[in-house]
Amino acid sequence: IYLRYWYKLYCIAYNQTGIQEEAKELAQEVFLSLWKRRADVEIIYLYLYLTLAIINQVYDFIKF
């Protein structure tokens, strides 16, 4: 999952923030969050879930 989707999530975050390192960190946070909640989350559409998760991460970053 990480290898398949990391670059796509990174691109979304980078397009919104314009900061390479922050985009990498935000993408990493999405996967870390998914891993921590893996027992509690039932995901049917993984790409949609990851896309919404990175968008939420970016909005949280921009808010602060």
The pLDDT assigned to 41 comes to 84
| pLDDT mean across residues, the chain | 95
Tell me the per-residue pLDDT of 16-47, one tens digit each, with 9 for 90 and over.
999 999 999 999 999 999 999 999 988 899 99
- How far is it, in rounded angstroms, from Cα 27 to Cα 14? 10
- Report the SS3 class of residue 37: coil
